[in-house]
Amino acid sequence: MVVENGKRQSSGDRGGPVALKVDKPTSGISIKELEMLPRLEEIEQLDTLIVKGTTNISEEVIGAIASQAASEVEGIAQVGTSSLKRVLAERIGSAKRKARGVDVEAGRKEAILDISVRLFYGYSIPQAVIHIRRIVADRLLKYCGLVAKKVNIKVVGLEFPERLSGRVQ
């Protein structure tokens, strides 16, 4: 087989490679790439390329996105609570691993979330909850294409940052 000036020519034997004409310079391009060039040019000429298939986003991923979004809200100290029992159960496999502090029930187009948060003392709880709902709904739509049907917030505690832990003066 001979490749010359972007054209692949057969050596004349039956069943050998077929001539391939390419208008673009081909130095440094492999034979497989040369064979794909006509198809790539076809694809480039299309305005939209429709590829079918299904996408499944796990509830753990949705929960991680919601958890990250909620933690970015001003006044949020922590999303979820730490539980030694839960961590051990996840490690030995008797409990499903999930994003801490976020329970998700998701369908193909909508999701319902239950989010547990701890806030810093001094921030308005109603304001923080409104911000959490807005940012979580926005991120789910942006990253997953899901509409947040409900975002239930449970405030499970307050953090007092000015306290010194364990010291009396």
Same domain, 66 and 132: yes
Same domain, 78 and 7: no
* 78 located within any domain: yes
Indicate the pTM of the whole model: 0.61
Alpha-carbon gap, residue 9 to 21, rounded angstroms: 9
Q: Which residues contact 114 (CB under 8 A, 6 or more apart)?
A: 102, 103, 152, 154
Same domain, 69 and 134: yes
Same domain, 64 and 146: yes
- Whether pLDDT at 10 is above 50: no
Helices (H) and strands (E) in the chain, counts: 4, 6
Torsion angle of C-alpha atoms 78, 123, 140, 62, degrees rounded to 10: 20
- Name the domain count of the chain: 2
Same domain, 15 and 97: no
Burial class (CB in 10 A: 0-12, 13-18, 19+), 112: middle
Same domain, 34 and 109: no
* 121 located within any domain: yes
CB 155 within 8 A of CB 125: yes
Same domain, 72 and 122: yes
- pLDDT tens, 108-136? 899 999 999 999 999 999 999 999 999 99
Same domain, 64 and 30: no
Residue 122, domain CATH: 3.30.70.1350
Q: Give the model's pLDDT for residue 36.
A: 76
Task: Enter the tokens of residue 73.
Answer: 């809200």
* 54 located within any domain: no
Q: 77: closest CA among 148, 162, 143, 149?
A: 162
Identify the domain containing residue 125 by its residue range: 59-159
Same domain, 39 and 122: no
- pLDDT tens, 36-74? 777 777 777 776 667 788 889 999 999 999 999 999 999
* 82 located within any domain: yes
* 105 located within any domain: yes
